[in-house]
Every structure is written in C-alpha cells, then in structure tokens.
Amino acid sequence: MKKIILGWFLNLVITVVGFFVSTVVLGFMLGIVWAISGNEWTMSDEELAALPIFGVFCFVSVFACNLFGYWFTVRKVIER
C-alpha cells in the first residue's frame, strides 16, 4: 500500500512539474519570437488563450507528462 501511495504522489509531482516546465519552455520560445519580430506580433492573454493550438498544446503536454510519470512510477517505484 505504501508503494502505491508513493507512486501516485510521484506521478502527480512529475505531471505537474513536467507541465510547468513545458509551458515555461513554450513561453521562452514565444518570447524569443516576439523579441526577434520587434514586438510587432505580441498577443494579449485573451488572444493567446483563444488560440486552439495553445489548448491542444496544453492538453498534449499534460497527457504526455502524465504518461511519462506513470511509466516512471511503475518502472522505478512499484516494480522494486
């Protein structure tokens, strides 16, 4: 039971941290593009949130981080 609770918690931590890191990387990439363009292509928060591709990115990022967390948890914690 202790391994299952530890695995669940580790999966949660990996998912949250992975999503945070992936969105920070996306933010850096967008910031670099905006800086190179001379801030002519900047978007407000509402415009960015309205982009369907941003929603798809967030969904795929959470899904991938969750699958990686599950794989890592099963492989490294529960199987031992």
Q: What is the pTM of this model?
A: 0.76
Residues 6+ apart with CB under 8 A from 16: none
Tokens representing 63 are 């899904």
Give 44-63 pLDDT, tens digit per residue.
778 777 888 888 888 999 99
Structural domain boundaries, residue 70: 2-78
Q: What is the pLDDT of residue 25?
A: 92
- Domain count for the chain, please give it: 1
